[in-house]
């Protein structure tokens, strides 16, 4: 299929996950899921759908949201990971 079809349909722009790494244990996570899980555990009902990376970063810093693996609170910058990676058949 022509790659421009994927761009026009929004698939290229819409399949980006906000990834973040814990600086202490080097584990990789989706920043939005870390925040959602932490909010749920703490009885906070806020949806982070559509939050820009800057807002997710500020929220994680303000609330000192810990890494679910090691408990560390130092994170790398959030970066977008495109889920539409190239594959080959055959």
Arithmetic mean of pLDDT, 37-48: 96
The reply to whether 7 falls in a domain is no
The reply to whether 78 falls in a domain is yes
pLDDT for residue 19: 94
Question: Both ends of the chain: CA-CA distance in Å?
Answer: 16
Domain range spanning residue 30?
A: 15-82
Task: Return the bridge partners of 82, or none.
Answer: 16
pTM of the prediction? Answer: 0.74
Collect all residues with Cβ–Cβ distance below 8 Å to 82 and sequence separation of at least 6: 12, 15, 16
Residue 32 belongs to domain with CATH number: 3.30.40.230
CB atoms inside a 10 Å sphere around CB 23: 13
Count how many domains the chain has.
1
pLDDT-derived band at 66 (thresholds 50, 70, 90) equals: very high
Residues 8, 2: Cα–Cα separation, whole Å? 10
The reply to whether 9 falls in a domain is no
Residues 29, 8: Cα–Cα separation, whole Å? 29
The reply to whether 49 falls in a domain is yes
């Amino acid at each position: 299929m022509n790659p421009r079809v994927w761009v026009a349909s929004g698939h290229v722009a819409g399949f980006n996950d906000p990834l973040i790494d814990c600086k202490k244990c080097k584990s990789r996570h989706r920043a939005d899921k870390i925040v959602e899980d932490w909010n749920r555990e703490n009885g906070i009902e806020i949806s982070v759908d559509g939050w820009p990376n800057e807002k997710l970063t500020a929220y994680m810093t303000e609330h000192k949201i810990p890494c679910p693996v090691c408990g560390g609170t130092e994170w790398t910058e959030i970066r977008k990971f495109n889920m539409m990676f190239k594959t080959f058949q055959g």
